[in-house]
Structure 1
Amino acid sequence: MSGTTGPSELVPAAGVSPEQLAARVPPALRRDLEVARQRYQEQTFAVIKDPVSLRYLRIPWQDYELAKTFDGVKSQGVLAAEWAERFPELRVEYGAEGLVHKADALRRDVFGQHLCEIGGEASVSLRGHQREVRRKARRYSWLTSWFVLRKSVYDPDALLTALHGRLRFLFTPQVFRWSLVLIALSAVLFVVNFKEAGIDPGWFFSLPNLVLLYVSFFVLKVVHEFAHGLSCKHYGGEVQEIGFMFVAFQPLFYVNVTDAWMFPEKRKRIAVMAAGMYVEMVLAALLVLVWLPLAPGFAKNLAMNLLLVASIATVAFNANPLMRFDGYYILCDLLEIPNLQVRSRRYFGERWRTFLFGAPPEEAAGDVLPKRHRRIFAWYAVLSSAYLLLIIYSMLRLLDHFLDKFGLSFIGHLLAGMALTGMLVLPIGMFLTRGFRDAAARGGHALRTPLVRLGLAALLIVGILALPWRQSVRRSCAIELATAEVIRPAVSGFVRSVAVGEGARLAPGAVVAQLENRELANRVRSLAIEREWLAVARDAAVAEGAASSVRDYSDRLAQVEIGLAEARRQESELTLKTAQGGVVLTRKLADRVGHGLKAGDVFALVMDPEAVEILVPLEEKQARLIRVGARAEVRVRAFPGTDLPAVVVQAPLKSIDRALPAALAAQRGGDVATTIDKTGEELLLETVYYARLRVEGGAGNLRPGMTGLVRIEGEWKTVGGILRQWFLDAVRVDYRL
């Protein structure tokens, strides 16, 4: 037998006779492979490093011991016999024929992972097979590959070796302990002094500072990645790749420390993954000490930017285990679940395929996983996929906002369509296609079962999304004097008489003035006469039995009656009345007798000096829910434990100026974010809509200046509509440039 593997041996064992299977000769393992022994989930594994491709493979240690017996000379039958003699437990578990099949499966695994020495026709066949796999992988990957672009630059191993020699003292226990003390002390100082030397949001969201923040982020991430590389070198690993990458259009610096996977100790692997975040937290602690004594200006702003990036951004970005950054790999080691993201999504898909299409249990990936991890896999698959979609959607909204200024928003729409197709449409379509194809191949009731289950699942989802749900808004509020009622005519006319004067106190519904409109009065009389004539003519046609004339007169009579009702309604509006009552504030009303008023002109102001209203500031998404007449409950801080019924009397109106009642500012216990300008005036930092409420049954002991909390009932909407709006609001970017 030669030491090479023939192309016919690339086919699976199915359809091959036992004699042919036993006669196959597995190729020998490559001599340049590096192997480390590790413990995972109370089992021993071999981590194999390919020094050429820098790829890593984890297999059970026993499989590695078996693969080491491949020498390119012995056949699988001979190897199976040797294994049975050397490992009696395998003979009991597999039997003689089963060991031959295991040898063939192990040969295919070694062959497919490029860990064997091959040549001749097998090499050509393998390269062709690999090209086909890459071609299929690229078929749809271009739809989402733009989200992460990566470019290797050079091998930094020599540079990091030199740096490690100079910075070795940083890895001593003493430095680590003192750095923890520094981080804790700086955190306390930052919290205590934040309000006095805090961030001005107006400055923070300005365009110049956002550019500075962007640059600061990149610089700190360079330090972050070098920390990974130095820690990997400290524990004996190699760092053979350094480069740049773009994640959601954000430029990043990266260092390849996958050699840490070769470390047998879990603590060392976790230390390498956490090194970048640890160094940034130390830098943040030092920046606190620099930031506090600085006078306001560029240096203080720069220190604050670096401080926020090194602390908050690092925790939110790198420590987040839902994306494949530092926190993800730390979680994988803590749970002892390698490739958590890939395996969890595969498990989730296989579980659904088993449920919907009745796939045999052995086809599901979860059957080879520990039961205690299955729930973790399912939840992680859902959360990580949803988070990735959220990030991509947010980035696309930001890009669309930027491109829209140049008339290029179609580019953002194109990228959104590509992402949606590559991440949702195609995977779901391929999942269903494969499931139905496999079910059809099994025949019988296998195809009917998934159709029924899919139909029931669709009905359940539609039913849940169609359920009605009433939303409510909870906000802070302030008690103010009621706004003056503006008396204005809805119909133009001349002032015929005035019933009140300045200072008069009016009851609700009292008459203020009477207008006259001769044109409208003549129209009312004309329509009344025409109605009487048409009624007489219709009655005469009925008596004569002229059916067509009856229909004609009836139609004309109906139209005239509609016009007459509208004219009389307008005539009634010539009487100006007060709706809420109060004291007349307008002077010299009697002098306006005989003057003309157009519809909408202000005639008088009436206000109840004892009436109060409740002013409620709302965000835009909350203002959409509120309508006039909506019910509410108010709890004033001066009267704890008492809920006052109220009703919305004015729909939310957008604030014109940027001033705000002091009691509603976030600094004083309210909900509205504000800032102080150079003149000392407090200004809004967001668009605010004001709704006004009135307490039912009288204001009682409420006085202007009191504050409290209010819950306003919103409109009824379906669960689907609420979820859709919630998602759009959650990913909407607020641009304050």
Structure 2
Amino acid sequence: MTDSFFSPLWYRLADLQPALKPQVEVTLHDYGGEAWHVLRDPVTGKLYRFTAQAWQIVGRMRGQQPLARIWEAALAELGPQAPSQEETVQLLSQLYQADLLSVDATPDAAELLDRMQRQRRQKRQRFYKNPLAIPLPLFDPDRFLDRLAPLVQGRRAGLFWALVWLAVVIPALGLLPLHWEALTRTGPREWLALDNLVLMACVYPVVKALHELAHGLAAKRHGGAVHETGIMFLVFYPVPYVDASSSAFFPQRRARALVGGAGILAELWLAAGAFLIWLAAEPGLLRDMMFNVMLIGGISTVLVNGNPLLKFDGYYVLCDLLGMPNLGPRANKAWGRLAKALLGLEDPRNAPRTRAEAWVFYLYAPAAFVYRIFIMLTIAVMVSTQYFIAGVLIAVWSMVQALVVPLFKTLGHLWSDPRLAERRGRAWASMLAGLAGAALLLLSVPLPLRETAQGVVWLPERAHLRVETGGVLVDLPIAPGTWVAAGAVLAVLDAPAETTRLQMARARQLEADIHARATQVNDRAEWRQAMAALPRHDADVAHAAQRVARLELRAAVAGRFYMDLPDMAIGRYFPEGAVIAHVLPDRAQRVRTSLPEPKAEFLDTRLRRVTLRLPGDAGLALQATDLRRVPMASQRLPAAALGRAAGGRIATDPGDPEGMRALDPLVTLDLSVPGLEQARFGQRVEVKFDLGLEPVGFRLWRRARVAFLSLFTRGAA
């Protein structure tokens, strides 16, 4: 009910005999157990919903009774629940503005012209609010869909398509975890490579055309009409679309949800089928095409089209399933009502009908707001990697629409709402206090600052049994698995070339010595030259002898001798520098880890302590006693176990077969950790860096600055 039961305009409207236009269609919808009457204008396709109380007024508008008698009849039937005169006037005005009503009065040409201009302004405003989605209608597909309608109509057809969908999606879901690692080896950088973008541009319209065809056929299955199809320029790229809004008029909730979700189901089916083909296909064009179909049908469905937090298909499906039409605007109004309540104003028009509905409203609005900003900024960043200026403009425009415009609307409401005349000072004070409180929380309240990473239990360099002279492994004097002392011979290699080189060096040394002795008496000048050459020959022999001696590999430290597949190693050639075995000390002492370069910014100035936890023993926290930092950042991982391909967290270059090259520069750290007796060498550990306290606002600003500076650097390049 409104604040005023009677209306000062009633005397001007009471004698009108309004009537709904003949073309207006009416049906019943069930929203949360309540019956609502839904009116549809077949000319514009727009829907208008009315409660049972409002329908007591609208349903009697047949052009045979004056408005006063209609209102009195509703008042007699509904009693205190009847609409007031003020609400009846508003209802009449809304019907007239929607062009659903005819009255026994001469039409006002100026008013009709104003209505047309208002509709044009609304179209322009829709474009300005969402310049990333520009529709271009092309033709009426209704007759074409009528020819295909028999394929989807009837219970048997529905069962057939359900089985077809399940026969593809269920096997794909079963196989997906087994091949997840292979699917995730690439990332956005590879997806946005020029050659893949060209391939995606060819695949995308086909996938979206099938998506829209599914919408149209689902509408036809339940008797709907589809009178518009065209191209929508989504982020300046042409995408097909159909107008299946007639499904919103269907009385069955499941039918409305099916039409809204048909495109989602179609894309998931295409993504599942593409995944199965991708598994069977050899590397090449077909496999790359199927991967792009998976990207489009999988990622876009989960993040955008099928996500109910954005106003796409998933949103309308959620509205139908919950029985809450206009969920987004109503959730925003519920928060507005809550804000007014804090100012002492009651607004019964936007009150949730049930406690469950209130919870949905209060949870949905902030979640949708945050997610919408996240998606808009993500699109802007992705566009700016290829078109820098366009990406920056999209980011600015998105933030203006998401933050600046709502802020100015709120300020305008506080300034002009007559109901706040006596409370305007309190309203401004409450808003400023809220902003000050938020700023205080963001900028003044210190919270723990932590950075986490993965590390590996690190072998000391002396524990590696490294080949110093290349050769063929011919003997393992000590069996692998044996405890050995420092200096023990663990492996013997054979290098005939090195042995021959030593023999030749000794022969040249002997020859030089004989020559020096022979010239000592007869030719003093020749003797001096021969004596000067002797040290060089001695050095050659010493060097060759050293290389031959290094064919025997000795343990540099005491520990347990460990070697992979020793039987297969016998007779195999190992080049210089190759590691063929390890001598594991009795206890581990060091952990090596890597941090992205921006995250390592404060290690030198703000680091308080470093703690480590071993897998399977989360309750035991080990403290690092010493930290050494490699001076220069590098993209090479300390160990492949830290890379995503081996189950780690760091994204690696998919073109690197070893999985050792990271996509971004890393800072490598060596940690001395007492208490690692139970850890295995090469085992992953969790590392936490305690950097003290810092307010959230400074933290967010620093991370945003790093992200955008890196973006600008790529754009400038």
- Give 1:289 deviation, angstroms: 3.3
Cα deviation digits, residues 368-408 of structure 1 (max 9, x gap): 6434312321221111122222222222233333334xxxx
Determine the C-alpha separation between the residues in 2 that align with 1:418 and 1:204. 26
Question: Is the partner of 1:16 in helix, strand or coil?
Answer: coil
- Give 1:211 deviation, angstroms: 3.1
- Give 1:223 deviation, angstroms: 0.4
Would the aligned equivalents of 2:20 and 2:61 in 1 still touch at CA under 8 Å? yes
Any residues of structure 2 matched to 1:445-594 within 5 Å, and which? 446-465=423-442, 466-480=444-458
Cα deviation digits, residues 640-664 of structure 1 (max 9, x gap): 8653322563457664354542332
Any residues of structure 2 matched to 1:66-85 within 5 Å, and which? 66-72=57-63, 74-83=65-74
Structure 1 unmatched runs, 5+: 1-11, 485-582, 584-608
Q: Which moved more, 1:241-250 or 1:263-272?
A: 241-250
- Tell me which residue corresponds to 1:192: 178
- Tell me which residue corresponds to 1:151: 136
- Give 1:242 deviation, angstroms: 0.9
Any residues of structure 2 matched to 1:113-124 within 5 Å, and which? 113-117=98-102, 122-124=107-109
Asked whether 1:51 is paired with 2:42, we answer yes
- Give 1:625 deviation, angstroms: 4.3
Any residues of structure 2 matched to 1:315-394 within 5 Å, and which? 315-355=302-342, 357-358=343-344, 360-362=345-347, 365-367=349-351, 369-394=353-378
Determine the C-alpha separation between the residues in 1 that align with 2:163 and 2:678. 60
Q: Which amino acid aligns with 2:693?
A: W
Cα deviation digits, residues 500-556 of structure 1 (max 9, x gap): xxxxxxxxxxxxxxxxxxxxxxxxxxxxxxxxxxxxxxxxxxxxxxxxxxxxxxxxx
Would the aligned equivalents of 1:344 and 1:377 in 2 still touch at CA under 8 Å? yes
Determine the C-alpha separation between the residues in 2 that align with 1:442 and 1:237. 49
Q: Which moved more, 1:168-177 or 1:105-114?
A: 168-177
- Tell me which residue corresponds to 1:38: 29
Q: Which amino acid aligns with 1:183?
A: V
- Tell me which residue corresponds to 1:263: 250
Q: Which moved more, 1:306-315 or 1:333-342?
A: 306-315
State which of 403, 423, 428 in structure 2 corresponds to 1:424.
403
Asked whether 1:183 is paired with 2:172, we answer no
Gap change, CA 1:467 and 1:691, over 3 Å in 2:
farther
- Tell me which residue corresponds to 1:523: none
Determine the C-alpha separation between the residues in 2 that align with 1:366 and 1:212. 49
Would the aligned equivalents of 2:18 and 2:104 in 1 still touch at CA under 8 Å? no
Would the aligned equivalents of 2:18 and 2:103 in 1 still touch at CA under 8 Å? yes
Question: Is the partner of 2:144 in helix, strand or coil?
Answer: helix
Determine the C-alpha separation between the residues in 1 that align with 2:647 and 2:385. 33
Gap change, CA 1:91 and 1:211, over 3 Å in 2:
same
- Give 1:639 deviation, angstroms: 8.6
- Tell me which residue corresponds to 2:146: 161
Cα deviation digits, residues 558-602 of structure 1 (max 9, x gap): xxxxxxxxxxxxxxxxxxxxxxxxx9xxxxxxxxxxxxxxxxxxx
Would the aligned equivalents of 1:13 and 1:104 in 2 still touch at CA under 8 Å? no
Calculate percent identity across the aligned residue pairs: 23
Any residues of structure 2 matched to 1:433-444 within 5 Å, and which? 433-438=412-417, 442-443=421-422
Cα deviation digits, residues 256-276 of structure 1 (max 9, x gap): 111112211111111111211
Gap change, CA 1:353 and 1:653, over 3 Å in 2:
farther
Determine the C-alpha separation between the residues in 2 that align with 1:268 and 1:117. 32
- Give 1:417 deviation, angstroms: 3.4
- Give 1:321 deviation, angstroms: 0.2
Question: Is the partner of 2:333 in helix, strand or coil?
Answer: helix
Cα deviation digits, residues 404-429 of structure 1 (max 9, x gap): 4xxxx3x5444443333333223212
- Tell me which residue corresponds to 1:403: 387
Would the aligned equivalents of 1:270 and 1:333 in 2 still touch at CA under 8 Å? yes
Would the aligned equivalents of 2:643 and 2:662 in 1 still touch at CA under 8 Å? no
Q: Which amino acid aligns with 2:639?
A: P
- Tell me which residue corresponds to 2:219: 232
Cα deviation digits, residues 178-213 of structure 1 (max 9, x gap): 532432122213433455787555865533123323
Determine the C-alpha separation between the residues in 2 that align with 1:729 and 1:41. 48
Would the aligned equivalents of 1:393 and 1:416 in 2 still touch at CA under 8 Å? yes
- Give 1:621 deviation, angstroms: 4.3
Q: Which moved more, 1:297-306 or 1:667-676?
A: 667-676
Gap change, CA 1:435 and 1:353, over 3 Å in 2:
farther
Q: Which moved more, 1:661-670 or 1:464-473?
A: 661-670
Asked whether 1:309 is paired with 2:299, we answer no
- Give 1:19 deviation, angstroms: 4.3
Determine the C-alpha separation between the residues in 2 that align with 1:378 and 1:205. 37
- Tell me which residue corresponds to 1:89: 77
- Tell me which residue corresponds to 2:278: 291
Would the aligned equivalents of 1:468 and 1:718 in 2 still touch at CA under 8 Å? yes
Gap change, CA 1:308 and 1:653, over 3 Å in 2:
farther
Q: Which amino acid aligns with 1:379?
A: L
Determine the C-alpha separation between the residues in 1 that align with 2:178 and 2:664. 30
- Give 1:665 deviation, angstroms: 2.6
State which of 242, 245, 248 in structure 1 corresponds to 2:229.
242
Would the aligned equivalents of 1:141 and 1:422 in 2 still touch at CA under 8 Å? no
- Tell me which residue corresponds to 2:696: 719
Would the aligned equivalents of 1:648 and 1:694 in 2 still touch at CA under 8 Å? yes
TM-score by length of 2: 0.72
Q: Which amino acid aligns with 2:248?
A: W
Determine the C-alpha separation between the residues in 1 that align with 2:101 and 2:10. 24
Determine the C-alpha separation between the residues in 1 that align with 2:608 and 2:9. 79
Would the aligned equivalents of 1:617 and 1:688 in 2 still touch at CA under 8 Å? no
Determine the C-alpha separation between the residues in 2 that align with 1:63 and 1:640. 62
Q: Which moved more, 1:420-429 or 1:332-341?
A: 420-429
Asked whether 1:661 is paired with 2:639, we answer yes
Determine the C-alpha separation between the residues in 2 that align with 1:702 and 1:17. 84
Would the aligned equivalents of 1:626 and 1:713 in 2 still touch at CA under 8 Å? no
Would the aligned equivalents of 1:321 and 1:328 in 2 still touch at CA under 8 Å? yes
Question: Is the partner of 1:165 in helix, strand or coil?
Answer: helix
Would the aligned equivalents of 1:475 and 1:618 in 2 still touch at CA under 8 Å? yes
- Give 1:632 deviation, angstroms: 0.5
Would the aligned equivalents of 1:30 and 1:115 in 2 still touch at CA under 8 Å? yes
Determine the C-alpha separation between the residues in 2 that align with 1:205 and 1:398. 8
- Tell me which residue corresponds to 2:671: 694
Determine the C-alpha separation between the residues in 2 that align with 1:144 and 1:41. 32
- Give 1:687 deviation, angstroms: 1.1
Determine the C-alpha separation between the residues in 1 that align with 2:146 and 2:55. 32
Q: Which amino acid aligns with 1:70?
A: M
Cα deviation digits, residues 693-718 of structure 1 (max 9, x gap): 33267988989645422211125321
Q: Which amino acid aligns with 1:42?
A: G
TM-score by length of 1: 0.70
